[in-house]
Amino acid sequence: MDIRLPKGLFKRGKGYAVRVAVPTEYQPILGKKEIVRGLGTQDLAEALVRRKEVVEQVLRSIGEGAVPKPVETKTKKKSPIDGTTVRDTAHRWLAESDGIKNATKARYRQHLEGFEAFAGNIEVSQINRKLALAFMEHLKRTPSERTGELLSDRSLQSYQCCLASYWRVLDHWGLVDPDVRNPFSSLLRRVAGQKKKADPREKKLRPVTREEAESLLTYIAGNFALKYQFEMFVTVRLLWVTGCRLNEICGRYLSDIDDRGDHICINISEAKTEAGKRTVMVVGNDDCALLREAVKQAAIAEPSCPENEGRLFPRINLGGYDKRPSHYLGKALEKARKNLEGDHSKWDMHSFRRTAVSALVNAGVAREARNLAVGHSNKDDIGISVYAKRAGLDDVILSTFKALYDELGASLVSPSVRLEAH
């Protein structure tokens, strides 16, 4: 279905522009009947917001007798210190978030407009827990304009998810105090005596098997139309032997790679936790040779943007609000997984990490060594409770009970009894 754009607004290339008619009395002076200005955005909602401001600026310049200065047609990224109100930051987030579906983006825009209407167009630094709780109570009391009934639990959860994500973006931009806890988290926390709601989502993700991983590699190797075919192939091979997260592989720089001949060290210098900052090692000869080839390719490849200079995968476009290399590469890998024959819904790219931890558990590697390799703290054994939870651990359990049997001194010794059914 075609969407009718407001008068003067039109699509130019991938972005939007506005056409402003020059008043008749100024046409001989300017030598033109209209002035076209790019709005510097590909998002329609953002274009609608900027349209009015640009039109007013052009008409004001004409009225003052000055020739309007051209506006840059290329998108000029706003710095984190520009536009720090709720309205400005909300528009900027949704305009730059290319990983959010249009339907979700429309729903988030409605949620953010509701929060702005309640709190006012305040500076984001003024948002606190008290305001967040007050807004949630307001939502619980206010009937829906569409149905006339109170919002459902699902709708309230959607508001919280949107606002919590919004705060994380603000934190990433440096607009809020990083030491302040997310004020929108746990807004729907249970009160004392309230029954816990059942999670309708099925916990079905498990470690990936060798057959599944090799089928994915075969698909990638045989599909030359893939934009990131080489990067995808290298990433899958490294995920299998390192147990890293996706972004820990595709976000590496050449300076992070230390070739020591019989093995290659990969330094992961940034992570969410201190334990995540670690060194992983590639020890297989074939994997080392593949990584060396990737380093050679990176040295001659044209970076997709200046930020990619010196990366292991410089051709990958950065995506998401935090501009990660895993954004588009992850989408490409997930699309490849879904194109495989058979049912592959029970694993994803993070399942390679589950496989690595499960293998370490089965090999009898100590918890401290496992956590050191995968980047987890030693206060909890997340390897057993999370990653290896759905793995095949029968051998470990069998050897454990054999050890228990031997430590107990075998079976109990007792007089023989005649067992009869009563």
pLDDT: which is higher, 405 or 121: 121
Q: Is domain 86-173 classified as CATH 3.30.310?
A: no
Q: Among residues 126, 136, 131, 129, which one has the least CA distance to residue 158? A: 136
pLDDT classification of 197: cutoffs 50, 70, 90: low
Task: Say what the pLDDT of residue 231 is.
Answer: 94
From the candidate CATH numbers 1.10.1060.10, 1.10.10.10, 1.10.443.10, 3.40.605.10, the one assigned to the domain spanning 210-399? 1.10.443.10
Task: Say what the pLDDT of residue 335 is.
Answer: 94
pLDDT: which is higher, 8 or 198: 8
Looking at every residue in the chain, the average pLDDT score rounds to 81
Domain residue ranges of the chain, discontinuous segments joined by +: 9-63, 86-173, 210-399
Task: Say what the pLDDT of residue 293 is.
Answer: 93
Q: Give pLDDT tens digits for 231-272.
A: 999 999 999 999 889 999 999 999 999 998 989 999 988 877
Q: Give pLDDT tens digits for 202-220.
A: 567 889 999 999 999 999 9
Lowest mean pLDDT among 27-36, 131-140, 317-326: 27-36
Q: Give pLDDT tens digits for 12-22.
A: 777 788 888 88
* pTM reported for the whole predicted model: 0.62
Lowest mean pLDDT among 139-153, 187-201, 266-280: 187-201
Tell me what percent of the residues of the chain surpass a pLDDT of 70: 80
Is the confidence at residue 166, as pLDDT, over 70? yes
Q: Give pLDDT tens digits for 38-78.
A: 887 877 878 888 888 888 887 877 766 544 444 444 444 54
Is the confidence at residue 90, as pLDDT, over 80? yes
